[in-house]
A and B are shown apart, each in its own frame.
Chain A
Amino acid sequence: ELKVEQNPLFLSMQEGKNYTIYCNYSTTSDRLYWYRQDPGKSLESLFVLLSNGAVKQEGRLMASLDTKARLSTLHITAAVHDLSATYFCAVGQETSGSRLTFGEGTQLTVNP
């Protein structure tokens, strides 16, 4: 059974600081997704990572994928308050069809 673990689960950081959220998964995967969720809202797609070594950047967020280590990272650069949200990674496997397995989420709070 595929397991996806994120850490930390809670992250409080100051504006202007850098930090990394980690997503580990237990079995071979062919795609990894990062989503953002604001309280009471739906999930917003941030990144889709499809190959080993993939790196994608959007604004202050950068995601990478190491399929050999079964690890993805979401790096936050010079955080701002607007980045406060819950971030989920999700892993897909061809063997499980189109289902995604989500991590528990990382609740990020950026303080002024």
Chain B
Amino acid sequence: NAGVMQNPRHLVRRRGQEARLRCSPMKGHSHVYWYRQLPEEGLKFMVYLQKENIIDESGMPKERFSAEFPKEGPSILRIQQVVRGDSAAYFCASSALGQGIVGYTFGSGTRLTVV
């Protein structure tokens, strides 16, 4: 049973380019969460999605960031026109229950570097 799969593991983008981060949840999990971790800091919630629905996007920056979780395929976190401040580790987590009572399983993360 593969865990939460994120790719790519490392991503380098020049300022102004687009970054697309992918997350495939654990088998049987239909709830996906994205978190961002800036260097030397804790994780900050970004967005919570179910299949084809955004449930809570209160942590998403208002501009340039978007997320989707289509009926088929992985969840995508998209960052348009990246800036240096977007450099961070982006973690995806999944759960089988909406409340995550039994805990979340985190992926290995995508480390985005904007040069």
Please report A residues at the B interface, Cβ cutoff 8 Å.
4, 31, 33, 35, 40-43, 45, 48, 50, 88, 90, 92, 94, 96-105
Contacts and interface: CB of A to CB of B under 8 A. Distances in A.
Contacts of A98: 31, 33, 48, 55-56, 95, 98-100
Interface of B: 31, 33, 35, 41-45, 48, 55-56, 58-59, 91, 95, 98-109, 111
Nearest to A6: B42
A42 B48 contact: no
Nearest to B92: A42
A35 B91 CA distance: 14
A45 B91 CA distance: 14
Contacts of B107: 42
Contacts of A33: 103-104
A-B pairs, 8 with minimum CB distance: A102-B42, A99-B45, A43-B106, A102-B43, A42-B108, A48-B103, A98-B100, A42-B106
Contacts of A92: 99-100
A102 B35 CA distance: 10
Contacts of A40: 111
Contacts of A102: 35, 42-44
Contacts of A88: 42-43
A95 to B, nearest CB: 11
A94 B91 CA distance: 22
Given A33-B103, A41-B108, A92-B100, A97 B41 contact: no
Contacts of B59: 99
Given A48-B103, A96-B56, A100-B33, 15 more contacts: A35-B106, A45-B105, A48-B101, A97-B56, A98-B33, A98-B100, A99-B33, A99-B45, A99-B48, A99-B56, A100-B43, A100-B45, A100-B104, A104-B42, A105-B41
A97 B97 CA distance: 11
